[in-house]
Amino acid sequence: MKKSIISLFFVLMVLPLAFAGGKKDKAAEVPVQEAAEVSETAPAEQTVKEALVVHSAVLNGPTGIPSAYFFENKPDLGGAELEIEVLNGANLELPKLLKGEVQLGVLPVNVAAKAFNSSKAITAVAVIGYGNVYLITTDSNYKSLADLKGKSVAVAGQGATPDYMFRYILDKNGLKAGDDADCVKLDYSTPNAELAAAVISGKFQYAVVPEPFATVATSKTASVKRALNLSDEYGRFNNGKNYPLSLLVANAKFASENKDVVNAYVDAYAQAVEWTNANPNKAGVLVQKNTLGLMAPVAAKAIPNCAFVCKDIAGERQSIEDFLNIYLSFAPQAIGGKLPSDEFYYSR
């Protein structure tokens, strides 16, 4: 029997074939078909592997602190590669999430709820930060919220969480925000990043600020103190619970098609949070090194007060809805006019 080698385009193996009389053409047809199948399927398999790159958005500022860990310790996502993009605000991140250009990110609870209610394009995966908003003051005679009647309080961001949370706290304590003599006047004239300096300089005696601004102000001078932790005050009216401030979110389509990757990322993020809370000084160095908007000493001092966590969303639905109900009472449009439906909450 005579042997010959038939070379085909895109075939990676050599087939020894036996030829005999009139059966030669029939014998050649089978390997040709098999080779064609190999040449068609191999590139497709390679394309799938190359496409599995996960883009994660990290926000500058305190919310991005735990993610600094990933710059030096790439998480194991089961073969998928992680690419991190640092953005300056949720307004830049959200469009990328909705389009699927970014698959994983971090958003304030109210922003995530509004985005879901309008598009259904994102899903909440985990709570990664509880409340870290404080009333700070240079008033050494401050005793309680009642002392704020008739006084001005600078507030970080009109329509943002510090604003509505402080209004909620005032209301629960029988106080009102307004310009009348028996009300608390809320001043939104100073940008968030300048509030600490404004209190230190004496421009304002009281201010409601999130971390790291509370840490910045109290670290610069002993005359500034934390008068009230809004989380503690919230807990007085909510069975000791804190309120969720920020969420790990995912593009909904990506999450439904890549649960293993999303689950692995959540587990890795939990490890990053644990390491960050246990190593604030080292974490601060990583934050500064990777230009996440904070200097190392400030980040290190702020971490213990930032309330970083990583809680599966399944157990946090009630706390999220309790928090969003505050928005419904003050500004329903800020969350899309209603509580998010079941699809908002990711299921592992």
Backbone angles phi, psi at 204, to 5 degrees: -125, 140
Instruction: Report the pLDDT value the prediction gives residue 27, as an integer from 0 to 100.
Output: 41
117/184 same-domain check: no
Look up the CATH number of the domain holding residue 213: 3.40.190.10
Within the chain, where are the H helices? 24-51, 68-72, 90-99, 109-119, 161-172, 195-201, 213-220, 230-236, 252-257, 259-278, 280-289, 296-302, 317-330
- Taking CA atoms, 157 is separated from 6, 37, 132, 277, 286, in Å, by 74, 60, 15, 27, 28
Q: How far apart are CA 292 and CA 88, in angstroms?
A: 9
In this structure, what are the phi and psi dihedrals at residue 261, rounded to the nearest 5 degrees?
-70, -45
Residues 123 and 267 in one domain: yes
Same domain, yes or no: 140 and 211 = yes
Amino acid at site 332: P
Considering the domain architecture, whether residues 39 and 183 belong to the same structural domain is answered as: no
When pLDDT is cut at 50, 70 and 90, the band that residue 279 belongs to is very high
Same domain, residue pair 188 and 278:
no
Amino acid at residue number 195 = L
Best CA proximity match to 85, nearest among 98, 67, 112: 67
Domain membership of residue 225 (yes or no) is yes
Whether residue 126 is found in the same domain as residue 143: no
Overall size of the chain counted in residues: 348
Q: Based on the fold, state whether residues 265 and 313 are members of the same structural domain.
A: yes
Evaluate if residue 174 carries a pLDDT over 60. yes
Would residue 172 count as lying in a domain?
yes
Q: Could you tell me the residue range of the domain that residue 44 belongs to?
A: 2-50
In which element (H, E) is residue 83 found?
A: strand 81-87
Sorted by sequence, the CB contacts under 8 Å of residue 140 that are 6+ apart come out as 223
The answer to whether residue 44 is domain-embedded is yes
Q: Are residues 28 and 78 in the same domain?
A: no
**Range with the poorest average pLDDT among 22-31, 67-76, 209-218, 275-284:** 22-31
**Is residue 307 one of the residues assigned to a domain?**
yes
| Predicted pLDDT at 51 | 53
Q: Per the domain annotation, does 242 fall within a domain?
A: no
What per-residue confidence (pLDDT) applies to 28? 43
Q: Answer yes or no: do 14 and 36 share one domain.
A: yes
- Convert the pLDDT of each residue in 90-130 to its tens digit: 999 999 999 999 999 999 999 999 999 999 999 999 999 99
> Do the domain assignments include residue 191?
yes
* pLDDT for position 307: 97
User: Coil, strand or helix: which one is 331?
Assistant: coil
Query: Is there a single domain that holds both residue 154 and residue 226?
Result: yes
Are 98 and 141 in a shared domain?
A: no
- How many structural domains is the chain composed of? 3
The rounded distance, in Å, linking the Cα atoms of 334 and 321 is: 14
Last residue of some domain: 207, 236, 265? 236
Task: Find the radius of gyration of the CA atoms of the chain.
Answer: 28
- Based on the fold, state whether residues 34 and 169 are members of the same structural domain: no
Q: Mean pLDDT across the stretch 27-51?
A: 48
φ and ψ at 257, to 5 degrees? -95, -10
